[in-house]
Chain A
Amino acid sequence: MKKIAIWYNVALGIFWEALYVMVIIGVGALFALVIQYMR
């Protein structure tokens, strides 16, 4: 039971980290799009 709880937290942790990276990628994609629009 304890092991399941540990791996559940690890999986959720990786999910949160992925979410943060998605925000970073979103910043890049948004800026690239704005530059394209400005042309």
Chain B
Amino acid sequence: MILKPQLNDIKNIGYYLGRIILCIGLTMFLPFITGLLLFREPNPALDFLISANLTIFIGLALSWLCKTDRDLHSGPAMVVIALSWLAAMALSAVPLLLSGHYKSFLDACFETMSGFTTTGLTLVQDLDHLSRTHNLWRHLGPFIGGQGIAIIAISFLLEGTSGSLNLYLGEGRDEKLVPNVIHTARFIWAISIVYLILGTLALGLVGMSIGLKPPSAFFHAACVFMAGFDTAGFAPRSPNILYYHSLMFEIVTIFFMVVGSFNFNLHYQIWTGNFKEIRKNIETRTLLFVVMIVTLITMAGLRQMGVYSDGMIMFRKGFFQLISGQTTTGYMTIYAQQFIREWGDLALTGIIIAMGLGGCACSTAGGIKMLRVGIIYKAFRQDIKSILLSPNAIVAHKFHHIKTMFIEDRQVRAVLIVTLGYFLLYGLGTLVGVAVGYPFLDALFESTSAAGNVGLSCGITDTSMPAILKVTYIIEMWAGRLELMSVFALIGFLVAFVKGR
């Protein structure tokens, strides 16, 4: 028998949801102040004042109406997380819609969901004339969402309750850096801010060296860093990274894309003196191995098609796109249509595999994640060994992730369920894409890009694509970022609400 949620359960969810919405509203003051004082763009800044007031009002009203002292358990916490990402998408879309650069509210919602989930697919019109204030907001989305929307609330607005821990776990993160969840959240911010300073400085200097004026160079640097480190792939100009035409800019961007796809726990270990971890960790080992395989596939495909004339162009076009896909960033140094017209099926398959497998767990990257890929590989080896050896032989495989662990059936089962979920998600988007008339490989490419939170596009994502496909991609981005479980929890909650007794 399914139990119907009680009024107290709904109040509990509403209270925490209200606190998170309040946080989102407060972050809107950043583009407002920057736009007004730094960029001197009063009209765009006003859009953020209106949106911040609306969001804060909703957040405060919800917190006040649902005020409760009850702690949040794991199930309701997942429902809060699933709902808070939808609320963040809708409320953050308001200033973008007010900019006049989006055809509809659905397009603005697509953009914000793409930003918060660090995907990077975009439906903005005339990006090159979008105000700096709105552009800053586009790039702040990935910086907030990459770390986690709940992480902000945990860092600044929620007390040290078990509810905070459950919210943290609900966002697809199952590793704590330090025993205290608030300290974990703050350390995640510390890593991001240290890299923000380094990244803005490095990309800004490269930008100046290629002829950008200092204010413009550092604005571009901050935007590219935020969307690169957080594996989102938004850029301030429509040709994306191709705009800069600089090998150095591309190499620095590759550095921040790869580092951004690292597990935050790995950063913590390395930054606190455990340098061996980078060599021993199952995720870094698997990532290196997977990069080798997909590079081989993609470059063989490109060679077959004879697209790029020499090694350097192959590196700058082929390898850049590949690393962008593997780290689930989505930065591009080619035009979207080139994937379909020039790359050929084999090279596209290489990129699709890279996008589908993704970066490291507990990072800003999407996809199935290297930890799961590594565990599945170890489990396969363990099973094959036990078939080959005598029936009485005990085969135990270990892997190293922060500490050395034995592969357990329970663990493998959990990994396989999430992996299967991702395959279903990739399949769902492909099915809808094919149903509305796109070729299979194009639909698979775009669907994997959306569900894996990548952002590479072969040209399907466009303002003119059918609304059903936009909604499907929004769902894929949302479910992919939350690693499905919070979405299942929300569906379960709604079913219990309708059918429960």
A residues 2-39 with Cβ under 8 Å of B? 9-10, 12-14, 16-18, 20-21, 23-25, 27-29, 31-33, 35-39
The reply on B87 being an interface residue by CB < 8 A is: no
Partner of B254, one of A14, A20, A21, A38: A21
Which A residues are CB-close (under 8 A) to B198? 14
Q: Complex: how many Å from CA A13 to CA B267?
A: 8
Partner of B278, one of A16, A31, A32, A33: A16
Cβ contact within 8 Å between A24 and B258 = yes
Q: Complex: how many Å from CA A33 to CA B314?
A: 9
B325 to chain A, nearest CB (A): 13
Cβ contact within 8 Å between B273 and A21 = no
The reply on B303 being an interface residue by CB < 8 A is: yes
B288 to chain A, nearest CB (A): 7
Partner of A32, one of B251, B271, B284, B314: B314
Listed in ascending order, the chain B residues whose CB lies under 8 Å from chain A are: 194, 198, 251, 254-255, 258-259, 262, 267, 270-273, 275, 278, 284, 287-288, 291-292, 295-296, 299-300, 302-303, 310-312, 314-315, 318-319, 322-323
Q: Complex: how many Å from CA A16 to CA B291?
A: 19
- Chain B contact residues: over half helix, strand or loop, or mixed? helix
Q: Complex: how many Å from CA A14 to CA B268?
A: 11
Cβ contact within 8 Å between B319 and A21 = no
Cβ contact within 8 Å between B273 and A27 = no
Q: Complex: how many Å from CA A2 to CA B284?
A: 30
Which A residues are CB-close (under 8 A) to B292? 27
Q: Complex: how many Å from CA A29 to CA B303?
A: 15
Q: Complex: how many Å from CA A20 to CA B315?
A: 18
Which B residues are CB-close (under 8 A) to A25? 251, 254
Q: Known contacts A12-B275, A17-B278, A36-B311; is A28 also within 8 Å of B270 by CB?
A: no
Which B residues are CB-close (under 8 A) to A23? 288
Q: Complex: how many Å from CA A37 to CA B258?
A: 27
Cβ contact within 8 Å between B271 and A10 = yes
Q: Complex: how many Å from CA A9 to CA B311?
A: 37
Least CB separation from A18: chain B residue: B255
Which A residues are CB-close (under 8 A) to B314? 32, 35-36
Which A residues are CB-close (under 8 A) to B278? 16-17, 20
Cβ contact within 8 Å between A33 and B288 = no
Which A residues are CB-close (under 8 A) to B275? 12-13, 16
**Which 3 interchain pairs have the tightest Cβ spacing?**
A36-B311, A28-B319, A13-B271
B426 to chain A, nearest CB (A): 25
Partner of A35, one of B259, B272, B288, B303: B303
User: 19 additional contacts, CB 8 Å, given A17-B259, A29-B311, A32-B315?
Assistant: A9-B271, A12-B273, A13-B271, A13-B275, A14-B198, A16-B275, A17-B262, A18-B255, A21-B255, A24-B254, A28-B291, A28-B295, A28-B315, A31-B299, A32-B299, A32-B314, A35-B311, A36-B314, A37-B311
Partner of A17, one of B270, B273, B319: B270
13 A–B contacts, CB within 8 A, in A order: A14-B271, A17-B267, A21-B258, A23-B288, A24-B288, A29-B315, A31-B319, A32-B299, A32-B312, A32-B315, A33-B311, A35-B314, A36-B314
B351 to chain A, nearest CB (A): 13
Q: Complex: how many Å from CA A33 to CA B318?
A: 12
